[in-house]
Amino acid sequence: MISSFKPVARTLMGPGPSDVNPRILEALGRTTIGHLDPQFIEMMDQIKQLLQYAFQTKNELTLPVSAPGSAGMEACFVNLLEPGDKAIVCINGVFGNRMVENVTRCGATAVTVEDDWGKPVDPAKVEAALVANPDAKVLCFVHAETSTGARSDAQALASLAQKHDCLTIVDTVTSLGGVELKVDEWGLDAVYSGTQKCLSCTPGLS
């Protein structure tokens, strides 16, 4: 016998998914409109502007992807890496390893810079990897490692990448809206996040 799903109210205390804000739950009960409706286009424009504010960027390619954070991750990697490219990937927890998987699936080579779980990415090790790999195209790191709560210094890492003529791919799934993140001021290149952590929105959007 199938019955209607009635979840019990729980307080989510992990690093995400977080409790969804009541304003968002209320909005989910509103009517649906078509994707070509002028009101939909207006809403999309507004969402892009608000996302630019959240990410502190003026980049016009600031957009929601209707799929989870992993799709935002994949979008960044497949658009920046080609077979034969080299990427430096910082690993200090679960999601750095996920980045390596994306690099290899693009047919590129991952040079890994490893730090202990629970520790931030060490800029000195990153600089050594950049010096040793002048052909690296992208430096990839997780701003806040969800698996341990360690926050890395995104500004320092981005400035090292710039010094060595490297682009950056930055995972801000757990940091956006929770800690300082200044995409333009810090010069981050490709940045993705998710809705289900510090934004207190539903899961499923990147």
Ligand X SMILES: Cc1ncc(COP(=O)(O)O)c(C=O)c1O
Chain residues that interact with ligand X, rule: CB under 6 A:
16, 68-70, 73, 95, 142, 146, 171, 173-174, 194, 203
Note whether 144 and 172 are within 8 A (CB): yes
| Residue whose CB is less far from ligand X, 95 or 186 | 95
Q: Is 127 exposed, middle or buried (0-12, 13-18, 19+ CB in 10 A)?
A: middle
- Please state, in angstroms and rounded to a whole number, the distance separating the CA atoms of residues 81 and 102: 10
Residue 177 Cβ vs ligand X, minimum distance, rounded to whole Å: 13
Sign of CA dihedral 96, 70, 63, 145: negative
Residue 109 Cβ vs ligand X, minimum distance, rounded to whole Å: 22
| Residue whose CB is less far from ligand X, 60 or 181 | 181
Residue 71 Cβ vs ligand X, minimum distance, rounded to whole Å: 7
Residue 106 Cβ vs ligand X, minimum distance, rounded to whole Å: 17
> In the complex, which residue's CB is closest to ligand X?
69
- Please state, in angstroms and rounded to a whole number, the distance separating the CA atoms of residues 38 and 5: 33
